Structure 1
Amino acid sequence: MRQPDIEIYLKDSDQDAVAEWLSQAIAPCSPWQSRGKTQQCQAGEIPVLWLHKAVGNWHCLLLESDRTPWEDDLACARAANAALGVPIRCAPGSWDEEEAEEEGDRWLQVTTEGVSEILWRT
């Protein structure tokens, strides 16, 4: 089932490199605009949000649409890792506030070695 949005975390990634990747994968990106602690742009018709160092050295990339080329966070994480060569983290699926808090600490990490499940206490 397609997710309503895509949220991934990129380690030590360059914002301009991410914009270039999105331009190739989706559509050309508009210039970044500052909105408080976030940067925003549009990749075609898809709103993109970038939060620099959202968690330590991990930057958050949020694509606010269900019309991306990727069905879910993991598919996007794999594509981002292949294109950018940096570790990527994403949630293993949708998370509901009614679930145990420990479930919110379960993440997937995508590296050149593959996908592994980790505990990430954000």
Structure 2
Amino acid sequence: MRQPDIEIYLKDADRAAIGAWLTAALNAPCAWQQKGRVWRCNCANIPVVLFEKAVGAWHSLLLESADTPWANDAQCAQAAAAYLQVNVRCAPGSWQEADGVNDADNWLQAKADGQLETITWHTA
């Protein structure tokens, strides 16, 4: 099932490199514009938001559309990790606050070699 949006967390990734990856993956340019503490672009008619250092050294990347090449966060995380050669984390599913806190610290981590592992990540 396709997720309505994609959110991943990239460790120590450079904004220019993230833009280059998005440009290659979406086959459209990504020109960042700063709005407060976040950077935004519209790439292939997909609104993209980058919040640098959202959690420590981890940058939050949100693609606000279901019309991406990836059906879910995990596929996107693996693609980003392979291209950028950084660790990338994402939620294992479409968790929402209403789901409770029991599984809130369960995450997936994609490594540059394509391996996907389940981790515990305390973000609070």
TM-score w.r.t. the length of structure 2 is: 0.93
Structure 1 SS opposite 2:28: coil
- Residue aligning to 1:46: 46
List aligned pairs for 1:58-69, cutoff 5 A. 58-69=58-69
Q: Structure 2, unaligned stretches of length 5 or more?
A: none
Evaluate the alpha carbon distance shift between residue 78 and residue 98 of structure 1 in structure 2; reply closer, same or farther with a 3 A threshold: same
SS at match of 2:99: coil
1:15 maps to 15
With over 3 angstroms needed to count, the CA separation of the structure-2 counterparts of 1:113 and 1:21, relative to structure 1, is closer
Match for residue 122 of structure 2?
121
Q: Structure 1 vs Structure 2: percent identity of aligned residues?
A: 50
Report the CA distance between 1:121 and its aligned residue: 1.0
Q: Distance in 2 between matches of 1:78 and 1:113?
A: 6
- Could you list the runs of 4 or more consecutive aligned residues of structure 1 that deviate by over 3 angstroms after TM superposition? none
Counterpart contact for 1:29–1:41, Cα < 8 Å: no
Give the TM-score normalised by the residue count of structure 1: 0.95
Please, which runs of 5 or more residues in structure 1 have no aligned partner?
none
**2:2 counterpart residue number:** 2
The number of residues matched between the two structures is 122
Residue equivalent to 2:110? 110
Distance 2:101 2:67 in 1: 30
Q: Distance in 2 between matches of 1:67 and 1:98?
A: 25
